[in-house]
Structure 1
Amino acid sequence: MSKKILIVRSANEIVIKKLINYITVTNKNNIELYCLVQKNSVKLVKNIYSNIQCFIINEDNFNYNQFKKNKNLINEINKNKYDEIYIPSSYLYFNNFNDIFNIANSINRISIFTFTADGNITRIKLNKLNLKINLLFGEYIYFFILVFKIVFLLISYSLKMLLSLVLYIHRRVKYK
């Protein structure tokens, strides 16, 4: 029996090629390959692997709120239970992937894996509560972390300058 594998096309062509190559080699081509893809990228995916079945999202990017409104697409995708879902990234990290993680979490599957640009594969377990919090507050959390970093840098720089001033005064007083 062949493995059913779904790829979310969330990375550039080079990473997608690398991922499909990894999947076909490790599973000895004993797979049914599916891809959740934006309408403008279907040809690109079909050129990489002609036997792939594509589920097409009409938006230019993956938006969970738009995805969950498309009941026909969700029903079509969930006709199968996927052994594995892969979420690739064109980078070494997964910043701003909250919508994609929510989409993957809503699909009938056994395992979810991330695949980075350098080929690092990690099995992940998604927590619905964390996904909801990130979806609602992700941008705010990022903003507060950024502000915290800036304030921390300013304080540390100020302390460094203050310490330098104290040492300077101490040397001047000591040698008079």
Structure 2
Amino acid sequence: MELISSAERNRLFESFKQDAFHLELRDDYSVPDEESPFTSWTRGESVDYSFMESWTQLIRSATSEGKTVRRVRVITEPHTPYIQWEHETTGINDEAGEDIRWLPRHRLPEGITFPMQGNDWWLYDDKLLAVGHFDDEGRVLGSEVITAPDVVAECVRVRDLLWGLAIPHGEYQP
């Protein structure tokens, strides 16, 4: 399996035409850029959110062209500290134009199975998947690009189901 880097995956934002959708299924992410801000937040210290600038610029660029960028976060309640922090910082994503919704695991449809062995994925224009792969400590290894129509169609189906069930960020109260 060939993996592309996070930077290469982010370049997919330059080529999609209408919609980018991210499904997040983890309750914790070990992202090196976030370790120091997250640690500061857990200590009650002020947090420098400048690490998010490259992401928010990417989102602003896409949404200013009329494209949509959406995300569903499937989360466990009660929340892990990381999810609490993510909820608190989601306003930054929202201001950039990303539409984020929350779906507590206990609200998932009975018997649902997630495509891609339960890995997170980005779906671009209902044609291309970038499936995230992680090591045993939760660190991102890279993304696998998939264009197989049957796999993409299953992800479209799951996206549509979950999007309809998920709670918009402004309405979700942890």
User: Rg larger in 1 or in 2?
Assistant: 1
Relative contact order (alpha carbons < 8 A, sep ≥ 6): 1 or 2 greater?
2
Q: Give the TM-score, by structure 1 length.
A: 0.34
Q: Give the TM-score, by structure 2 length.
A: 0.34
Determine which structure has the larger helix proportion and give its number.
1
